[in-house]
Amino acid sequence: MKKLTVITLSMMVVATGLLAGCAKKETPAPSASAGAAATASPSAAASASPAAATGFVPKELKVQFVPSQNAETLEAKAKPLEKLLGDKLGIPVKVSVSTDYNVVIEAMASKQVDVGFLPPSNYVVAHDNRKAADLLAQATRFGVDDATGQPTKDLVNFYKSEILVKADSPIKSVADLKGKKMGWQGVTSAAGYVYPGLLLKKAGVDPVKDVTGVQFQGHDKAVIALLNGQVDAVGVFQDIRTNMIKDYPDIFKQTKVLAFSDKIPNDTIAVRSDMDAAWKKKIQDAFLALGNDPEGQKIIFDVYTHKGYVVAKDEDFNIVRDANKEMGLK
């Protein structure tokens, strides 16, 4: 039986305490004895009714991201959000970058971060298990054409994961991945572990026991490792290759899609759970307005390929809870 080869003991200790839910720097993948999922307890999106208008009132809003790619440049791209959001909220805004979504979740739980950009599985972790975050909004982005990997003109509230192999790989089906070296993101990454892991399970391949897993911090880093022959396949978000074509102009010729996942709800904007209800609404409105502001649109697209934000409900993420449960995540 093969185990993940890149996990340090300290990361495994963190993973044991934090695993619960997913595109892109999460805790390392689990051992084969990972526990079954806890029962979900969804709640509605934040309400701003006067009766609930008690709680934390920020004097400075702390927003945190985790890069899905090009980690070195994300913080610089995100910095202009400070002024845009600050102008809308009337208070200073501090934007920072973390290397791990669980770090963001713990920072929200310990009241060190007020707003986190969380992928769906990580939102479920933060909301259900840590009681640290409430849902404010969900991202919209351009769809992706399965056949070409190119963006469509349709705005959608979902994305997919894909398993990539090299174009000349002898691997022809997901079942062929048994015994191979697989590139993952952290276990709470929907596109980088949970959903591609489900594809393996449905093909009779145990994503823990039957492949040698290698964890990467960034979907682009995983694809580069694939190109360099370090792994046989990678689970990444669809279609990461369009973001890499400037540096790797032949990337579509060098790689091919082995399989696509089911639809995954888009990323969330989540706020610390003790935020004053009126401020939740104010912050929500500020993010929704970014999608209608040309400067705001450019920033959020450069950072996360988001085109805007819409109001969402916690129950919209029940399908993510179901996926986590199938993968044995708490």
Q: What is the pTM of this model?
A: 0.73
298 pLDDT above the threshold of 80? yes
* Each residue's pLDDT tens digit, 156-209: 999 999 999 999 999 999 999 999 999 999 888 889 999 999 999 999 999 999
132 pLDDT above the threshold of 60? yes
* Each residue's pLDDT tens digit, 80-106: 889 999 999 999 999 998 888 889 999
Q: How far apart are CA 207 and CA 219, in angstroms?
A: 18
Q: How far apart are CA 108 and CA 58, in angstroms?
A: 13
Distance between terminal CA atoms of the chain? 23
Residue type for 81, please? L
pLDDT at position 16 is 36
> CB of 133 within 8 A of CB of 127?
yes
pLDDT at position 40 is 39
- Give how far Cα 95 sits from Cα of 150, 166, 294, 306, Å: 30, 37, 20, 17
pLDDT at position 53 is 53
Q: How far apart are CA 286 and CA 168, in angstroms?
A: 48
Q: How far apart are CA 149 and CA 7, in angstroms?
A: 32
The least confident of 14-23, 78-87, 149-158, 203-212 is 14-23
- Give how far Cα 124 sits from Cα of 35, 99, 139, 220, 238, Å: 16, 19, 16, 24, 21
Domains contained in the chain, CATH given: 19-28+51-142+266-324 (3.40.190.10), 144-264 (3.40.190.10)
**Sign of the C-alpha dihedral computed for residues 136, 145, 66 and 326 taken in this order:** positive
* Each residue's pLDDT tens digit, 41-84: 444 444 344 444 589 999 999 999 887 656 567 777 778 889 99
pLDDT at position 36 is 37
pLDDT at position 100 is 83
pLDDT at position 34 is 37
> CB of 70 within 8 A of CB of 76?
no
